[in-house]
Amino acid sequence: MNAIPVTNVQSAKFMEQLRAEAAIEPTPVHTGEVKKETQIIAIYGKGGIGKSFTLANLSYMMAQQGKKVLLIGCDPKSDTTSLLFGGRACPTIIETSSKKKLAGEAVSIGDVCFKRDGVYAMELGGPEVGRGCGGRGIIHGFELLEKLGFHEWGFDYVLLDFLGDVVCGGFGLPIARDMCQKVIVVASNDLQSLYVANNVCSAVEYFRKLGGNVGVAGMVINRDDGTGEAMNFAEAVGIPVLSVIPADDDIRRKSASYEIIGRPESVWGPMFAQLAENVGNSTPMRPKPMTQDELLGLFSASAVGRDVVLEPATQFDMCGKTDTSKPTLEVVYDEV
């Protein structure tokens, strides 16, 4: 195929367009008074460790203290707001977006954001099982939030509830893209939750080395039984403990019945009031992630199986009782 020749007239017009674009003055930097500075905080933790419980009560207490709070569930289970709304399911952004798109309608704030006693909350949601990537769903959800004006909303705090077990794609979005100022991890005195917490610290440190600005502001120890592994972990990686929530039957029962305990008049009110203050004043820090052996060293050998010896398997083991070794098909040439 012959190329279409560019005439001198076309070249001149193109150069004229470039000069016109270059002559346009950029939008001046905003120099007016800053009306509100929003703290965007991503909370990570192992599934089932109590992130949603912690966040529901924390956000409720912050609202009672006069703060304007937005709670965003970024877990495909969509259970972040269930405690806040007394067990009621909140329509998710992804589900609502799909329905609105089929109907040819636009999504509005009232379709996806709901409030209770001063706390604003929404769920990003996720795809049905086997029908898509949860991480991609998170990315799609935030793209829609930006279209709805996410960066123009005037909140004191935006709390993001992220699943820490999955470290791919959208689940690492706040850390990888500097979408938040700081990260808080929720863990307990068990190896799996501390493994997830250590992974999050590793991700933060990795992106800091690439020029990122997100730091870990601290840890909330939930269901504390007094054994001290989580406390020792926080000290080892260099992050403060913001609150220690005990393994108490009263908390367990009330949480199971979708009751908010982070109320000023509650017996647990002072604990969440202190947590709210600590979260607000916490400083993002660069953690020092532990190696796998260092992490295992927080526990007794009997608890984590460090006395186990890895014995290599053989081909005989894999094929059963009968050895199926066969002669090689390699052609061997006689030496000349």
CB 62 within 8 A of CB 69: yes
Give the residue among 227, 220, 216 at the shortest CA–CA distance from 288: 216
Helices and strands (H, E) in the chain, number of each type:
13, 8
Structure tokens at 170: 């959208």
Report H helices in the chain.
8-23, 51-64, 93-102, 109-112, 134-147, 173-176, 191-209, 229-237, 249-256, 269-281, 292-296, 301-304, 315-319
Structure tokens at 272: 């969440």
CA distances from 272 to 58, 75, 140, 266 (A): 6, 23, 33, 10
Q: How far is the C-alpha of 183 from the C-alpha of 40, rounded, in Å?
A: 9
Identified catalytic residue from 51, 182, 224, 254: 51
Which residues fall within 8 angstroms of residue 121, CB to CB, at 6 or more apart?
59, 70, 71, 72, 73, 80, 81, 84, 85, 90, 113, 114, 115
Identified catalytic residue from 46, 79, 161, 224: 46
46 catalytic? Reply is yes
Give the residue among 162, 163, 165, 200 at the shortest CA–CA distance from 41: 162
Q: What is the dihedral of CA 206, 210, 211, 217, to 10 degrees?
A: 0
67 catalytic? Reply is no
The residues facing 28 across adjacent strands are none
68 catalytic? Reply is no
Identified catalytic residue from 79, 161, 165, 224: 165
CB 187 within 8 A of CB 207: no
Q: Which helix (H) or strand (E) holds 216?
A: strand 215-224
101 catalytic? Reply is no
Identified catalytic residue from 68, 77, 100, 115: 77
Residue 22: Cβ within 10 Å count: 7
Give first-to-last CA distance, the chain, whole Å.
58
Residue found by looking up tokens 């393994």 in the block? 247
Residues forming the active site: 46, 51, 77, 165
